[in-house]
Amino acid sequence: MKKILVTGGLGFIGSHTVVELQNAGFEVIIIDDLSNTTINVLDNIIEITGKKPDFHQIDLRIKNDVKNFFDKHQVDGIIHFAAFKAVGESMHKPLDYYENNLSALVYLLQEMRDRKIDNFIFSSSCTVYGQADELPITEKAPVKKAESVYGNTKQIGEEIIEDASKAHGINAIALRYFNPIGAHESVKIGELPLGVPQNLIPFVTQTAAGIRKELSVFGDDYPTSDGTAIRDYIHVVDLAKAHIAALQRLINKNNKKSFEFFNVGSGTGSSVLEVIKAFEKASGKPLNYKIVGRREGDITAAYADTTIANKALNWKTEKSLDEALDSAWKWQLKQK
């Protein structure tokens, strides 16, 4: 049985990916520093799959701790989620973001080089495209100068991996996520935003639950059909499955280059107002919202052309926006 290290494995996307890895027959070791999640997620994963992943609370910025981990554990691949991800915060704490998101990456790749570990999957983001000139966005779209420090850590991260993969023969895939939402159908794992959510869906579900007074819709003067911005929302379980598909591609040596990247989205663009309407249908509740000005740094529209990912990964999304919103709402109702 192949053993896979999942860093950030107790986070939102990480936990769903651990479940899918276990379902696919992989043995999982999780590293998480619990900075943005809780240890309960581990028990909830075990409740879903009946299998206990090996867990280590390690801060990947501490090089010696990373080395000690690899001295004791052999793995056949790494899926690296552990990173800071708040766009606004990244502008105020650039050095913390560069340290956490890049030093950990370098330390992991150094261990892979030194111990001849192959197969690396990296959490990247569609933010690397900025406002693309053409929609839907294909992998051929140019990477634009990042608007945020967070986005820059993803761009630099991809460059580091590409250089390391060429020099040291580490096969790697970066998955450029669009907007992951939703929760596992068991409603045992989901998104756990700390404090006031910055992303749309957790803000929507918290507003419907009465935790927030109203949702601010950031801008209705975009050049779109209803004036609100368009994004590509992908169910987190579909996204999790893309990681297993990417890992299989590397393990089966089906990759065409040592470093590849793929767009992981649903392929469908939805406006903020469309999301609100779909959520009202899924929850059966009207949502309290008001239109306010645009949020700084936001782009008009981003949605994926998934043709290349569908073919290369032999993967496609299976769940609809309605299902994703329904699961996000059920998850919200379970929170105290």
| Nearest partner of 198 among 332, 87, 331, judged by Cα | 87
Pick the closer one to ligand UD1 by CB: 124 or 255.
Answer: 124
Pick the closer one to ligand UD1 by CB: 25 or 88.
Answer: 88
Shortest Å distance, C-beta 314 to ligand UD1: 25
Shortest Å distance, C-beta 302 to ligand UD1: 7
Say which DSSP state 317 is in.
-
User: Do the strands 215-218 and 289-292 form a parallel or antiparallel pair, or are they unpaired?
Assistant: parallel
Contact between 123 and 80 under an 8 Å Cβ cutoff? The reply is yes
Q: CA distances (Å), 72 to each of 31, 69, 194, in order?
A: 13, 5, 33
Structure token digits, residue 322: 């309605």
| Nearest partner of 272 among 329, 216, 212, judged by Cα | 216
Pick the closer one to ligand UD1 by CB: 8 or 151.
Answer: 151
150 is a catalytic site residue: yes
Shortest Å distance, C-beta 74 to ligand UD1: 33
Q: At what angle do helices 104-115 and 149-168 cross, to 10 degrees?
A: 10
Shortest Å distance, C-beta 271 to ligand UD1: 8
Residues that bind ligand UD1 (CB under 6 A): 87, 125, 127, 151, 179, 198-200, 203, 215-218, 229, 231, 272, 295, 297-298
Pick the closer one to ligand UD1 by CB: 15 or 258.
Answer: 15
Pick the closer one to ligand UD1 by CB: 169 or 293.
Answer: 293
Exactly one of 97, 150, 177, 222 is catalytic; which is it? 150
User: Do the strands 270-271 and 230-231 form a parallel or antiparallel pair, or are they unpaired?
Assistant: antiparallel
List, in sequence order, every residue forming a beta bridge with 53; answer none if it has no partner.
Answer: none
Instruction: Please state, in angstroms and rounded to a whole number, the distance separating the CA atoms of residues 52 and 19.
Output: 10
- Length of the chain equals 336
Residues belonging to the active site: 150
